[in-house]
Each structure stands twice: as structure tokens, then as C-alpha cells.
A = this chain, B = another copy of it.
């Protein structure tokens, strides 16, 4: 059931079989599988998964191209709740390993928050990442286009950008390297440093050889209307016309709540085995938080894998949950 501050005491279990941090594609898919394995599950979601911002999903088998990401999440949440899973809008602050269980400290509500501790046997970290965006004086101007034709994922939207004039906004020299795989889809590429960092001669030469343009001025604002970005206005007032943008400024990894647990990372990503188990036997990581490709369909598969492994673990301990009624 959907839990609230008021209905917390109606939760189904004092100790959940699995607590899922994050209600995006990976977390919801895990929740659906877990409930169908008859495992008690709580999904804690802070809202606004990365896929929530995707206005058009173009590559998810079974859904028409241009399905909004939020539609997948809405369907998944309703699916999960129909299987009697518990769901709470809240923010996970800290996880403490108690040996057989974890205690999970959660903040509920933004204003006058209350705090609650949940206990669980297994933890699934499905809290994902969120893309860093260019910092402009007017951030609303960025949000007007982000997720429309101001893209954050080359693999998701390279096809949409084919033969277009694309502006790539990076946060470092290495983040601008995405221009080269983008060059598979279009030769018309302008790179923006937003005045924030220097570019080496080596990269300049490579860009010139590829026919790309480098622009090192700060961006004043994106131009456009109806969520379609049509170019950028630079600090000096000059305008560069574009058909699309690709933001490549790195990501924030939502995993602070795991900081007191010793886990293997590769960059900001959690290292897992093929069933998505981390280096801790009772913690799984799924979706964008783990090492691998950041794709909705892969996140959904991750959820299935992690839930199945948790079921196998628990089944080995318990044998059956449906004992015959004594005659």
C-alpha cells in the first residue's frame, strides 16, 4: 500500500524481506518481481527518477516510440501497488548493517520532517543518478529544454540528433570526448566549455580534424520556444543556432546513504556480479547506480535479476512460504 506519515503504522511488515531505495525503472521492476516472489517489499522513493525527465522514450521494447518516461514509471508504480507492495515517498538518510538485517533511517516530508527507521533483510540500491546541468543565472531556462531536445544520453537520443546541428556542453575536457561518438550521428558539432575550463592542444587538434567547432564563452541562455531549443545566446550577446543539445557534465550519484558500508565502487558506480549483487552479500545495486549502461530496459532487467537472486537466497533458508493448512 501507499504509505504516508499518517498510515506508517499500517505497514505490512516489521522487517521487510527487501527494501528498495528508489522508485525508478530499476526499483519498480525489482518491486514487481519481489512481490510476485511473495517477498515483502518496501520501495522508498524521493520522487523524480532520471527517466521521469525523459519526454520521449524511443527504444523500449513493447512501448510505442515517444512514450514519456513518466508513463513507464506511472504504470510500474500502479503495477507494483496492485501486487500489495508498500511504497513511501521519503528520503533515505542512512543504512546501518545489523548483521542479519539493516536498519534504514528515513526522512519523511520536506517541511517539518519526521524520521522513521525501517528494518529489512536485503537492500536494493536503485537510487540512480541525476545529470549535472549547466548553471545559468536563470535555471528555469535550462529546465525548459532539458529532456526535450536538450539531451543527456547519447545512446538514447543519438538517432534523434542525426545530421542535426548539435551543441555539446561539457564540464571538463574529458566530458567533451562524447563529441566523437556523437560524430557517428552528425558531423555538425559545436563544443561549449561555458567558460569553465581550458582545452588542451591535443583535443583542439582532434576537434579540428573532425570538423568540430569549439566555443569557450559562457552561455547566457538557451533560445527557443515550446520546449524546443533553437540555439544559445553567449555572454557577448552573439547567437549560435542549433537543432539540439547534448549535456555531458557528469552526474550526481545518489548513494550517500551507503557511506558507512564498505562496498566496491568503480568511479561513482557500484560494482556488482551478474545478478547485481554488490560486494556486500545482502546489498544489490541496479540501474544507473551500478557499473554498466544507463538504459531504461536494462534497469528493468536489473530489477528482475536482483529480485530473483534475493528470492533464491531466502528460499534456501525458508523452503516454503505456503504451508498446507493442518487438517
Contact = CB atoms under 8 A, between A and B. Distances in A.
Interface stretch (A59-67, A128-136, A244-252): A59-67
A290 to B, nearest CB: 11
Contact of A300 (B37, B301, B319, B322): B301
Interface in A272-290: 274
A293 B306 CA distance: 11
A304 B293 contact: yes
Interface stretch (A72-80, A96-104, A141-149, A230-238): A72-80
Interface string A1-37: 0000000000000000000000001001100110111
B308 A297 contact: no
**A-B residue pairs, 3 tightest by C-beta:** A301-B301, A36-B159, A61-B300
Interface stretch (A116-124, A183-191, A221-229, A258-266): A183-191
Nearest to A74: B62
Contact of A187 (B33, B61, B320): B320
A38 interface: yes
23 contacts: A29-B297, A33-B59, A36-B59, A36-B158, A61-B303, A62-B72, A63-B63, A63-B75, A64-B79, A65-B82, A183-B320, A184-B311, A210-B320, A274-B274, A293-B305, A293-B308, A295-B304, A297-B297, A297-B304, A298-B305, A300-B301, A301-B301, A301-B302
A210 B320 CA distance: 10
Contacts of A300: 60-62, 297, 300-301
Interface residues of A, number: 60
Nearest to A155: B308
Tell me which of A35, A65, A315 has the highest count of chain B C-beta atoms within 10 A of its own C-beta.
A65
Nearest to A301: B301
A61 B32 contact: yes
Contact of A64 (B64, B75, B298, B320): B75
A47 interface: no
A92 B288 CA distance: 37
A162 B303 CA distance: 22
A211 B319 CA distance: 13
Contacts of A32: 59, 61
Contacts of A293: 304-305, 308
A38 B185 contact: yes
Given A211-B324, A295-B301, 19 more contacts: A29-B61, A33-B59, A36-B159, A37-B159, A38-B162, A62-B62, A62-B63, A62-B67, A62-B300, A65-B82, A155-B308, A184-B311, A184-B315, A184-B320, A185-B321, A293-B304, A297-B301, A298-B305, A301-B302
